[in-house]
Amino acid sequence: MVVAYDGTGYAGWQVQPGAVTIQGAMEAALKQVTGETTRVQCSGRTDAGVHAIGQAAHFDLAKPYALDKLQFSLNSVLPEDIRVLELKRAQPDFHARFSPKGKEYRYFIWNGPVMPPHLRHHHYFVRKPLDVAAMRRAAALLVGKQDFASFSANPNREISGTVRHLHGLVIAKRGHEIVIRASGDGFLYKMVRSLAGFLIRVGAGDLPPESARTILDAKLRTATVPTAPPEGLFLWKVFYGGRKKK
């Protein structure tokens, strides 16, 4: 599946006792439509308040179903802030979490004197003008295969280590909207929000762009790198069988 959701009212993807979650809603919908109890595995768990345009997930069913009818039925019973955008049969060895070759996240900032109320759940509001050119210089120093321990909210939990290949970190500005596009082979815990928090500090003039190198070299998370709020973050796309061509 390719799943889109507004994460505002959810405690994240993963099922948690006493909490409303994306995974819980997906599994409940499948149970209602098919009568089967099945686990829905995603490409990577999103935190509370984080959104997705292109989350990838898979599930197993014992009985066959017509895909178009199954997709329609699921969307008919899912909450209106969750939708199955695509549904197709997967290869037997496919796994939404372990098969990806890369991901793209986007972080949205509203950089103006007033936050339009209809954007408040999907953009981080920064009133102070940001220097986008400085942010781009800092971003260029972060691209590549590097140790991103300083940009993980909990580097000690990363079983596979803290080295990741950040293929691109692009900053676009249109009017008051600034979008940070991060693509890579994988991301550490809250890494994208940490990259966004750092770049916002650079844009605000609190840190020079060159501090990106010093922070990377330290391989230690400190208060210098804040974690940006969740509402600006979207899991945009998951790549299988190769990274997206530029």
Q: Give the position of tokens 């997930």.
A: 57
Tokens of 107: 């972080």
Per-residue pLDDT tens digits for 141-166: 999 999 999 999 876 666 689 999 99
For the question of residue 47 being annotated catalytic, the response is: yes
CATH of the domain at 123: 3.30.70.660
Show the domain range for 27: 2-86
The residue among 36, 60, 86 that closes a domain is 86
Indicate which CATH number applies to the domain containing 9: 3.30.70.580
Tens digits of pLDDT across the chain (246 residues): 999 999 999 999 999 999 999 999 999 999 999 999 999 999 999 999 999 999 999 999 999 999 999 999 999 999 999 999 999 999 999 999 999 999 999 999 999 999 999 999 999 999 999 999 999 999 999 999 999 999 998 766 666 899 999 999 999 999 999 999 999 999 999 999 999 999 999 999 999 999 999 999 999 999 999 999 999 999 999 999 744 433
Angle at Cα 50 formed by Cα 42 and Cα 119, nearest 5°? 140
> What is the Cα–Cα distance from 171 to 187, expressed in whole angstroms?
18
169 within some domain: yes
The reply to whether 204 and 124 lie within a common domain is yes
- Rounded to two decimals, the pTM is 0.94
Looking at 47, 60, 68, 131, which residue is catalytic? 47
Positive or negative torsion for Cα 10, 2, 190, 112: negative
Which of 51, 86, 121 is a domain's end point?
86
